[in-house]
Amino acid sequence: MAEEWKPRERELVIDGLEWVGRMADKARAQHGGYIGEYIYPCPMDQRVLHDLGMSAEEFKQIAVEAATDSELAAKVKAASGKEAVASPT
């Protein structure tokens, strides 16, 4: 039996961006059709997106195109104009 897909941990910080790694995993999974029971954008994702000044679709496009976490962080920072974002918890 195959193990159910799960996004990375909530505590993951990528280059000063909290929550963005987990949110990117969910965005990619939604794009790929394997998100399962997870939700993108969930209410916490929506708070981070609001803080970044980005739409869910804009972030998903960046997440799908980014080949590495470093590229993801650089593209999110460029699109949002923010150098850091705190977890919505």
CB 79 within 8 A of CB 62: yes
pLDDT digits (tens, 9 = 90+) for 23-43: 999 999 999 999 999 999 999
- Element at 18 (helix H, strand E): strand 17-18
The reported pLDDT for the residue numbered 87 is: 67
pLDDT digits (tens, 9 = 90+) for 40-85: 999 999 999 999 999 999 999 999 999 999 999 999 999 999 888 7
Compute the distance between CA of residue 32 and CA of residue 89 in angstroms, rounded to an integer: 27
The reported pLDDT for the residue numbered 66 is: 98
The reported pLDDT for the residue numbered 88 is: 66
